[in-house]
Every structure is written in C-alpha cells, then in structure tokens.
Amino acid sequence: MFLAMDTVFDQCSIAILDANGQVLSSHTETGKRQQTQQILPMIDAALSEANLRLADIKALIFNRGPGAFSGIRINTAVVQALSVAHDIPCVGVSSLQAIAQCAYKKYGLTQVYSALDARMQQVYFGQYSILGDVADNSIMQPVLATDSDSTEQLLDYDSQTALNLPIVGNGAPLLKAYDEQVCHEDVWPDAVVIGQLGIAQFMNVGGTDAANALPRYLRNQAWKTLKEQGKA
C-alpha cells in the first residue's frame, strides 16, 4: 500500500493506493490556507477508511515541486517526519510530470509541454512524452531540453515553445502559442495522480530515506521574501 499527498497545487489532497495504482481512499480539499491544519487529520481519515495503519504503508509519495514554496514545504516536511518516525521510504514526484500525466489521462495526449505559473513573470516548464521503449508505457516521461541539462526549467511569460506541441497546466495561457497550438489550462492533478507516478517510480528505482526526500524549487532564493530577493 502507498500513501500519496499533495499540497503544492493549492489544495490538500491525500490518497492511498495499492501496488497496481488502484485507489483505496482519496480526498481533496481545495484552497491552501488550511493545509497545515488539514493534512494530518486527512491522512488519519484516509488510513481509517482503508482500514490500514502507517505500518502497512510501503512508501510515502509526495509532490516535490516545483511550485508554491509553502505548499512544497508542507508536504515535504510531513513526509520526512512520517518517514523518520515509522521507517518508511519516500518517493518525490515532479509537479510538472504530474500535470503531464493528468493531461494524458484526461485528454489522451501523449506529448505535451507542462507549464505551471511560477509568478514573477515566469512559468515552471518541462516537456513530457509517452515512450514506447520503457517498461510502463502509460507513464509520461521527461524529455531533456535540447538547450539545457535539466528537464525542468523557468521560462519567461510570452516565451514560445520549440515545437508546436500541446501546452497543459495553468501556465499555458501565459506563453506565446503558435497558431492552432492546443492549450489546456484546466489540468490540475490530485494525490491519486501523484501516487500512480510515485508507485511506478518506486517499482523502477525504489525510494529514499527522509534526509534525501528533497524539494525542488528551481528558484534558488524561493525561501526569501520579494524584498530580500531585490524584487520589491
């Protein structure tokens, strides 16, 4: 059994899934103001509904970002604490990959750009594709950018993509689209999608301990205020 959580997408979302990705319990509360108060009671409720204990959980799966700093910090801290207390491995899932996977499930798209509004006139951005030469060809896999050594980047608003592929996520309308380029901004993953990606990752490469369950911010100074960053 796997416990997945997300507080990055302006929500508090918890899911418990079996090794086949089937959902045993899933609950999502929208909004981010009460996440710190909601997350632990929601985990307890999900475990109770699935008639499980934390000792039954194989791995803790969380949205590692990139995205909202406070949201990343909340679910990362909870996963690290539960991992240490109960000796459970952790699996961090990319928010951009989750957006791509959600677009695959919702629209059947097999090649997309994921774009998540990063504020400050930028979007978090990555390219993802269903690859036929991998063991699980129902999972969107990251595509390395030709001009970067990373699959996740920051792009300025009004940037144009290299290819005329669909753009998905709430950052889609903030980029400059080609004529007839498909954009779907109504793609918002929950903990079920996070969990299914995390299970595939765990089966492939395993998990990590709490010390290495690290967030992904992309902005090196994400923890600083705008004034401290010299942007206000």
Radius of gyration, alpha carbons of the chain? 17
Mean pLDDT of 26-52: 93
Answer whether residue 229 shows pLDDT above 50: no
pTM above 0.75, yes or no: yes
pLDDT for residue 57: 98
Give the number of residues written for the chain.
Answer: 232
Cβ atoms of 215 and 64 within 8 Å: the answer is yes
- What is d(CA 154, CA 230) in angstroms, rounded to the nearest whole number? 18
CA–centroid distance for 207 within its chain? 16
Query: What is the percent of the chain with per-residue pLDDT over 90, rounded to a whole number?
Result: 84
Quick check: 227 pLDDT over 90?
Answer: no
